[in-house]
Amino acid sequence: MDGIRCPECCSDQVFRSQSKDKPWLRAMLCTRMRCHWCGLAFVAPLWQTAGKDVEPPTAQLRRAA
């Protein structure tokens, strides 16, 4: 996803949080995101997060190996 960056460390390695979103977040058209590098959890608009992976790339590499 172009444009989504961690507000803390500016990393573009952000993923949807694996925990369930609260109904009020969905009502505001938002979802929880988590930074792979610093671990910061933050809220991002749904239209920017469509199709984002839910696990960091290290987990994907571990599975492929």
Q: What residue numbers bound the domain in which 57 lies?
A: 14-64
Phi/psi-derived region of residue 51, left when phi > 0, alpha when psi is between -120 and 50, beta in every other case: left
Note whether residue 3 is domain-resident: no
Domain count across the chain: 1
Model confidence at 36, in pLDDT bands (50, 70, 90)?
A: confident
Mean pLDDT for 38-55 is 73
Question: Token pair 């925990």 is at which residue?
Answer: 19
Check residues 3 and 14 and name the one with the higher pLDDT. 14
**Mean pLDDT (the chain, rounded):** 72
Sheet holding 30-35: strands in order across?
14-16, 30-35, 41-45
Q: What is the pLDDT of residue 16?
A: 78
Check residues 44 and 23 and name the one with the higher pLDDT. 44
Note whether residue 6 is domain-resident: no
Model confidence at 1, in pLDDT bands (50, 70, 90)?
A: very low
